Chains A and B, each alone.
Chain A
Amino acid sequence: MVRRRGIGMASVFYGTGYGNGFPDISSAIVELHPSGKATVRTGAVDCGQGSSTVFAIIAAEVLGLQVSDITVTTGDTDNTPDTGTTAATRQTYNTGNAVRLAALDALSPLLDMVKPRLAVNTVDGLVVRGGAIEVRGLPGRKVTLAEAVALAKAEGLTTMGKATFTAHTTALDPENGQGAPYWPYAFATHMAEVEVDTLTGMVEVLRVVAAHDVGRAINRAGVEGQVEGGVAQGLGFALLEEVQLNCGRIQNPNLAGYLVPTAMDMAVVESIIVEHPEPSGPFGAKGIGEPAILPVAPAILNAIFDAVGVRITDLPATPEKVLQAIKLQEDRGIVK
């Protein structure tokens, strides 16, 4: 058995949001309760990617609360506002912005209300943290959020904030494709380390170093989770997955015939979070959902080239294709 190692690099960019001038709109509602806790309502759907946790973090940060103080209600046409599709790597950026603004909107009347009580001349002299509104520089002088909400309710003030955020995008010119279709763009570089068995053509991905510019990580573990999932899905795209067709009919509509990576196929992932803040993002954040998968397959293909000197240009890079390419190269008398 002759196993050869190689390293491959791939860099990508990714325009997040709907793009091409499409209305890219998210709305959110944040309600403060007399318990001092809060509810976030958005139409966004947490499909496992962690959007609800991101919204809880953003609301908690703005309101000076803990994540456990926030309830997130999502995806119900009767009870949540429209936030557009949960797609296009747009929920952290778009709805995240809307949640941040809605939390500020909920807070604003409370700050005005407690201003005389705390004897400050401007709301800029107030800071919200640890479940209380306190005077900047005089942390002992404060009103708890719970008290403030109760007072506001007694005065007939609403403690519900709402906001809408729209992402910037312009349509492309149909003749030359010029325009500003997406904003913001995400960037990433992956390095894949593979071992190719030259007798069987099997490719084993040993390690993927995945560096992503996310602007700012709202949830660090969440970013890492998305990256690891992206590597798994990208590995499947590179080496395993293919819907096989015969006259338009799916030949392998099952998980015995359609191979997704298992834990046995998975590489070690080293996730590196690069935080180059995006000024228009909530706390500087951009999305991570889709960028996570993009560099994986090209990095693996480039690593196969580095290992055995054959360039696979037809995905997936099955053992048969890799072996055939190696044989072809040997026949030509080129041996790496």
Chain B
Amino acid sequence: MQDQVVGSSPVKVDAKDKATGATKYPGDLRVPGMLYGKLLYSPSAHAKIIGIGLADAWQVPGVRAVLTANDVPGHNGHGVIIPHQPVMARDLVRSVNDVLVAVAAETMAAAEEALRKVKIELVELPAVFDATAAMAEGAPLVHPEGNILSHHKIRRGDMAEGWARAAAVVENTYRTQMVDHAFLQTEAALAEIDDGGILVLHVATQYPHWDRKELSRALGMPEDMIRVVGGSVGGAFGGREDMSLQVQAALLAMHTGRPVKIVCTREESFHAHSKRHAMVMHYRTGATGEGRLTAVEATIIGDTGAYASWGTNVLRKAAVHATGPYIVPNVKVDAYAVYTNNPFAGAMRGFGAAQPAVAYEGQMDEVARVLGLHPFAVRWQNAMTEGCITATGQVLESGVGLRATMEKAGSLVGWDVSKING
């Protein structure tokens, strides 16, 4: 009988081409007659657009297209939850992610020169850069419907009873920062129209079928006229779930009738994709003298920036994971996704569950310190096990290997796990 393949460690199917450099990423593609595209991002985080002067840009030799919001034939917006992030901003910019102009030219130098010749006239608007401040009455509005994108609540048990049973209560506020995915390969796309009139877009993306939907909506074209080819992707981590330059590349190809490639510089890449939500997390955790958790109350505020992206879902995930892998009978969680004029936040590895771990694991150590218990012992006795009930009331019927991970990791740093647990 052959050895089992599952559980082995074969050479990755893409290893050879990656190691030898044979792998072609979208940025490596070159086709005859190809133009170079480039995008102009807003210099301001919140401003009214008074005018965009394109005449001088058109005068640059080699320029083949200079496009603005007026050139978007379909819905001028994209977004995984709310399609309100403009392909190109028309009247208003809400963040430095906003694209104002897209150009295509015979050379990269000509495209860069054309962007320098675009005359932008903006009038700055009152802006808000702090999520907590953005929740207050009278804060500048990022969107007319209000700055709170979502509020998720988790209510379980009886908080008064939880605090009454607690021998110790620890209370702290934790703050995590805005983080970039910093994947190796910056955004790149090559758009072309094939002989059958089909728009073909080569792009490093996490979801080609979704990109096709977004392209269809913004271009006003049926999905069957669009083909998205994922190609090779040099890291993603959630930063390739929203549109970055897909629609603009397609528009430039459609307007010029020529293939157009856009490759972001690192600086442009920082402006082209989402960020990890900065969060402020206020926690109160109660435990009995033996270290049994009796209550957790958490208020989590996530700065989702100027556009929704996955903000609602990220903060929902933060709420669901707010108590950590522990059995807590009494829980009150409020998690808010809040608009600001900061760069937009969305999916990043952990998706809202990375930030609360900083808070709930800080709290577990603090509970241990206050009660004079070992951090391992506090975690062990509260650990989720098969059949336990989560803060959302879900019974975990199978697949709960938490204590095995604790035992193995603890032993390897020399902790006498059985002795600690008494």
User: A residues within 8 Å of B by Cβ?
Assistant: 7-15, 19-20, 43, 45-48, 50, 52-53, 56-58, 60-61, 64, 66-68, 70, 72, 74-78, 80, 82, 84-88, 129-130, 172, 174-182, 184-185, 187-191, 193, 209-213, 215-222, 230, 233-234, 236-237, 241-243, 245, 247-250, 253-255, 258, 260, 270, 272, 274-281, 283, 286, 289-290, 293-295, 297-299, 301-302, 305, 311, 313-316
A64 to B309 alpha-carbon distance, docked (Å): 43
Residues in B310-337 with C-beta less than 8 Å from chain A: 313, 316-317, 319-321, 324-325, 333
Interface pairs (5), CB distance under 8 Å = A11-B405, A76-B230, A220-B7, A236-B179, A248-B341
| B350–chain A nearest beta-carbon distance, Å | 5
Separation of A297 and B376 alpha carbons in the complex (Å): 17
Q: With A15-B317, A177-B392, A248-B96 known to touch, is A315 a contact of B358 (CB < 8 Å)?
A: yes
Q: Which residue of B lies closest to A215 (CB)?
A: B399
Query: Residue B361 contacts which of A241, A260, A295 (CB distance < 8 angstroms)?
Result: A295
Residues of B within 8 A of A276 (CB): 399-401, 404
Q: Is the CB of B178 within 8 A of A279?
A: no
CB A11 to nearest CB in B, in angstroms, measures 5
Q: Are A10 and B320 in touch, CB under 8 angstroms?
A: no
B205 adjacent to A11 (CB under 8 Å): no
Residues 194-229 (chain B) with a chain A CB within 8 angstroms: 205-210, 212, 226-229
> Does B284 lie at the interface of the complex (its beta carbon under 8 Å from any beta carbon of A)?
no
Partner of B392, one of A47, A179, A230, A293: A179
Complex alpha-carbon distance, A289 and B206, angstroms: 14
Query: How far does the alpha carbon of A195 sit from the alpha carbon of B320 in the complex, in Å?
Result: 33
* A178 partner residues in chain B, CB cutoff 8 A: 154-156, 392-393
- Closest 3 CB pairs between A and B? A75-B230, A248-B45, A276-B401
Minimum C-beta distance from A134 to chain B (A):
10
Known: A15-B320, A248-B343, A258-B182. A130 touches B392 (CB 8 A): no
In the complex, chain A residues whose CB is within 8 Å of the CB of B325: 11-13, 187
- A293/B275 contact (C-beta < 8 A), A47-B240, A179-B394, A182-B320 known: no
- Bound form: Cα–Cα A280–B9 in Å: 23
Check if A220 sits within 8 Å of B45, measured CB to CB.
no
Is B349 in the interface zone, CB < 8 Å from A? yes
**B406 close to A177 (CB less than 8 A):** no
Q: Are B236 and A47 in contact (CB under 8 A)?
A: yes
A238 to B267: give the CA distance in the assembly, Å.
Answer: 23
Residue of A nearest to B398 (CB): A279
Which of B208, B234, B404 makes the CB contact (< 8 A) with A43? B208
> Does residue B285 face the partner (Cβ distance < 8 Å to A)?
no
State whether A315 touches B176 (Cβ < 8 A): yes
A residues in contact with B396, CB < 8 Å? 185
Partner of B409, one of A72, A191, A297, A298: A191
Measured CA separation A299–B357 after assembly (Å): 10
Residues of B within 8 A of A87 (CB): 206-207, 238, 241, 347, 351
The smallest beta-carbon distance between B99 and chain A, in angstroms, is 15
Q: Is the CB of B233 within 8 A of A274?
A: no
Once the chains bind, are B9 and A222 in contact (CB under 8 Å)?
yes
Contact at A189–B177, with CB atoms within 8 Å? Answer: no
Which A residue sits closest to B234, measured CB to CB? A48
Q: How far is the CA of A209 from the CA of B238 in the complex (A)?
A: 25
Quick check: which of B10-18, B51-59, B286-294 contacts chain A, the rest being far away? Answer: B10-18
